[in-house]
Amino acid sequence: MSQPTALITGAARGIGLATARLFLAEGWRVALVDRDVPELAVAEAELADPAARTFACDVSDEAQVAQMMDEVANWAGRLDALVNNAGVADFGPIEDTGFQRWRRVMQTNLDGVFLVSQAAIPLLKRQGGAICNIASISGLRGSTLRVAYGTSKAAVMQLTRQQAVELGEHGIRANCVAPGPVRTKLAMAVHSPEIIAAYHDAIPLNRYGSEAEIGEVILFLCSRKASYVTGQTVAVDGGFEASGVGLP
Ligand code: NAD
């Protein structure tokens, strides 16, 4: 049997790249998809692994997604796991969030998950597989700053339930990971010193998570070990969700 293959979007850096490393270490072949071509080249050189291949694609562009999926199919011949991880953040209240800013967040965080999943389904159906969508604890609570980001992530949780119910009969599971804060480029662009301090207080484990701590749960949900888990959102957040406090 040929090697199981995972497709990870937003894999040029951050949580996506850390997750790619974990899949590779477990013997998977990994298609790393990102729109940031220079960062993808750096990631590919760092990985230096024949089981890893990079694909340039903006997940919010339907034509690019279709072409990318063809290229992945030609390279790997199969798809066993799809990790919809590409995301952008933009913090602001509703009155300050212009429509362009709203659309920019929705296009990647929600439209991108829809488009890549839709394009991947024919490949996943061949032998069954798993989808893992990356949302955020920002989609679990209301806040004064996350009208676009939080709304996009809440929608991803619902899209996950839709996928689980619709695709179960094809042997395709769909789950969602809702990470707490991780010190990536995305988070550090929107987390002020006040937000960072407040997160440390609000999170029972009193710290940010690491990229690999998120990736381990993504890998588990995509593996056979999670063969009876579908339609779930798992918060990987140091206990933030359990604590019931508001988002800083
Ligand atoms: P990151 O900025 O380090 O990585 C995101 C990657 O996605 C980048 O490589 C970027 O080029 C890529 N990307 C963005 N838009 C794209 C598009 N339209 N098409 C293709 N690629 C695109 O950020 P990260 O923190 O690793 O984020 C990964 C995911 O985790 C995101 O969905 C984010 O919302 C989610 N998340 C992050 C945190 C956190 O604190 N870092 C918390 C909760 C959820």
pLDDT attached to residue 248: 87
Residue with CA at minimum distance from ligand 1 atom 19: 58
Output the tens digit of pLDDT for each of the chain's 248 residues: 589 999 999 999 999 999 999 999 999 999 999 999 999 999 999 999 999 999 999 999 999 999 999 999 999 999 999 999 999 999 999 999 999 999 999 999 999 999 999 999 999 999 999 999 999 999 999 999 999 999 999 999 999 999 999 999 999 999 999 999 999 999 999 999 999 999 999 999 999 999 999 999 999 999 999 999 999 999 999 999 999 898 98
For residue 175, the domain's CATH number is 3.40.50.720
Which domain does 206 fall in, by range? 5-236
For residue 68, being part of any structural domain is answered with yes
For residue 247, being part of any structural domain is answered with no
Tokens 């490949």: give the residue.
Answer: 123
* Cα-to-centroid distance, 59 and ligand 1 (Å): 12
Q: Does the beta carbon of 187 sit less than 6 angstroms from any atom of ligand 1?
A: yes
For residue 204, being part of any structural domain is answered with yes
For residue 243, being part of any structural domain is answered with no
For residue 248, being part of any structural domain is answered with no
DSSP-derived secondary structure for 197-241: HHHHHHSTT-S-B-HHHHHHHHHHHHSGGGTT--S-EEEESTTHH
Ligand 1 atom with least separation from CA of 181? 40
For residue 93, being part of any structural domain is answered with yes
pLDDT attached to residue 94: 97
pLDDT attached to residue 1: 57
pLDDT attached to residue 2: 81
Catalytic residues, by residue number, are 149
Q: In a 3-state reduction of DSSP, which class is residue 146?
A: strand
Q: Does the beta carbon of 10 sit less than 6 angstroms from any atom of ligand 1?
A: yes
For residue 162, being part of any structural domain is answered with yes
For residue 244, being part of any structural domain is answered with no
Q: Does the beta carbon of 18 sit less than 6 angstroms from any atom of ligand 1?
A: no
Q: Does the beta carbon of 110 sit less than 6 angstroms from any atom of ligand 1?
A: no
pLDDT attached to residue 115: 99
Q: What is the C-alpha to C-alpha distance for residues 187 and 33, in angstroms, rounded to an integer?
A: 20
* Cα-to-centroid distance, 85 and ligand 1 (Å): 6
Among 183, 184, 196, 236, name the best residue to mutate to test ligand 1's pocket (greatest count of ligand atoms within 8 A of Cβ): 184
Ligand 1 atom with least separation from CA of 109? 32
Please give the tally of structural domains in the chain. 1
pLDDT tens digits for 157-178? 999 999 999 999 999 999 999 9
Query: Residue 195 has which token pair?
Result: 């937000």
Residues 6 or more apart in contact with residue 124 via CB below 8 angstroms: 79, 80, 82, 131, 167, 170, 172
